[in-house]
Amino acid sequence: MKLLRLLAAGFSMSLRRSVAFRVNLAFDVLLAFTGLGTAIAAVLIVFTRADTLAGWSKAEFLVLIGTYQLITGLRTTFIDPNLSWFPETGIRNGKLDGYLLQPASSLFLSSLSLSSPLQLIQVLLGVGVLGWGIAAADQVPSVGGVLGWLVLVVAGLVVTWALSVLLACLAFWAPKLQLDVFYHSAWQFGRYPTDVFSRPLRILLTYVFPMALIASVPSTALLRGTRPGLVLAGVAAAGGAATLAALAWRAGLRRYTGATS
Amino acid sequence: MRTLSRTGVLLGFRIRQEVLEWSGAWWFLLTLVVQAVVAPLIGLFVWSAVYPDDPAIARYYVAVVLVTLMTESFEQHTFSERIYNGTLSHELLRPQPVVVGVIGMNLAIRGWLTLLGAPIVLLTGIALQVGFDWWAVLRGTPYLVLAAVLVFLWTFLLALTAFWTDRVHAVVGFGSQLIFLFGGTAAPIGLLPDTWRRVAELLPFYGMNGLPAEIAAGTRSGGSLGYQLVWVALLTGIVMVLWRAGVRRYTAVGS
């Protein structure tokens, strides 16, 4: 409860800071629209040449893009402002020292205390595209499909957070190693179903950087029906990743001796 | 003539200086390489799934990866930041055109990106068993040179908006989206619906990416260098006008 209140307070402060800059707001809205528009256009071009792509119909692709956009929006709103460039800002510039002195979980403060509320525009746009995809689909999603999608989206979010924390934890051992860009580049592959890619890349995107869990798996559950085994695997992956992240953070803190030491 | 030769010598020195400076930032350069190759690689996988039996798709996208690496421009970082932090004043006081420094850094970074990205291009080509007709690659060279000029002019043009706004990264990001969509990365422009293809063939973005890649891949035997040259002239004119207006508006930090 205390953490939720802290999250709300951080969000409120960030929101007030953001809306003070109206030109930035206008550009962010514009860029969110054009970014998503470009992504959709790229897919729609494909469907002028084919009815399905790797077994996915146009409607399924729209659901996938909507889900991807929604999770990307939540990531850029709540996770990236904290953990992007963590080796630089958190370790080398000493922001972590400040968090360690505060009476709350350092993992929470380091990974979720700041936010970029304007990026929630991406979430809204994602929901819009999701609705478009569902409306264009041949059949209405079942209740089980919607529930499965919800659970898998939450699982995908937890995995996203855990991966960001694990990447940040590397900085405790190698403060100059900056892998964010590679992570964000791998993230781009999540906009497409893993069936599109070649086998080695598919394995990489399923087990190493589980981008399949971000959008492909929830979208499949929503439109093609939920398989209980898949939902359980998603929940287990989320639990495992979160536990691993917490353990890595604790191990990293034991090693950490302060920015100036 | 003497001024041109002097500018050439200055440019040479600047490129050498920048190549040496960036040689210590290979990890950062590697991240730039990865960022540059992701979109073409996704395009490669997507269109290979649509046309699995067409070797020209793989050849085209391998060429796009190489063209992208050789033409990447980052003036929103290397130039606009100088406007924001006021260090442009130092450049303005030097007895040489400011653009010499900008071009020098641009070419040095491109050189490093090409060098570091070459293994990715080679590996992709070998994995997909892509074979190039080297005569076509040679024929594509002038198109590639003009593409490199066009990308630089486009990015520099957008970077100049830093004189008027503090959101230059968003402006340049929007410009990159246009290159992605109409330049031949999202799809080879021959595969666009007819109306969009005609629009794309008129805009400068095709000349920045898809045209040299198509020539090098042999999917197009000849193109119009004139189309690229017209856009080079047009963008150069706009850049010069914006530069003059921008410098008149510029007031150094602290003044």
* Contacts with A193 (C-beta within 8 Å, 6 or more apart), sequence order: A53, A54, A55, A56, A61, A64, A216, A219
The whole-angstrom separation of Cα A96 and Cα A91 is 6
Of chain A residues 17-56, which have a CB less than 8 A from chain B? 23-24, 27-28, 30-31, 34-35, 38, 41-42, 45-46, 48-50, 53-54
d(CA B137, CA B250): 44
Q: Please state, in angstroms and rounded to a whole number, the distance separating the CA atoms of residues A84 and B87.
A: 27
Q: Exposed e or buried b for every residue in B190-228, given b needs 16+ CB within 10 A?
A: ebbeeebbeebbebbbbbbbbbbbbbbbbbbeebeeebb
For A169-183, how does the pLDDT look when each residue is reduced to its tens digit (9 = 90+)? 998 888 777 788 888
Angle at B65 between CA B60 and CA B67, to 5 degrees: 90
Query: What sign results for the dihedral spanned by CA atoms A174, A245, A102, A254?
Result: negative
Nearest CA in chain A to B31: A181
- Asked if B106 contacts B152 with a C-beta cutoff of 8 angstroms, the reply is yes
pTM: 0.90
- The CA distance from B48 to B63, in Å, is 14
For B148-204, give the DSSP string.
HHHHHHHHHHHHGGGGT-S-HHHHHHHHHHHHHHHTTSSS-GGGS-HHHHHHHHHST
Q: B254 pLDDT exceeds 60?
A: no
pLDDT category, A75, cuts 50, 70, 90?
very high
Question: Tell me, what's the pLDDT at A15?
Answer: 82
A53 φ, ψ (degrees, to nearest 5): -130, 115
Q: Which residues contact B15 (CB under 8 A, 6 or more apart)?
A: B104, B107, B108, B111
For the segment B108-123, the average pLDDT, to the nearest whole number, is 94
pLDDT of residue B253: 62
- CB < 8 Å to A189, chain B: 38, 42
3 state SS of A140: coil
- ∠ CA A14-A11-A9, rounded to 5°: 110
Please tell me the predicted confidence (pLDDT) of residue A25.
77
What is the tens place of the pLDDT at every residue in A118-158? 888 999 999 999 999 999 988 889 999 999 999 999 999 99
The residue whose two tokens read 């460039």 is A85
Determine contact: B182 vs chain A, CB below 8 A: no
Place of tokens 């004043």: B89
User: DSSP 3-state assignment of B146?
Assistant: helix
A53 vs B31, B46, B166: nearest CB: B46
Residues of chain A positioned with their CB less than 8 A from the CB of B191: 45, 48-49
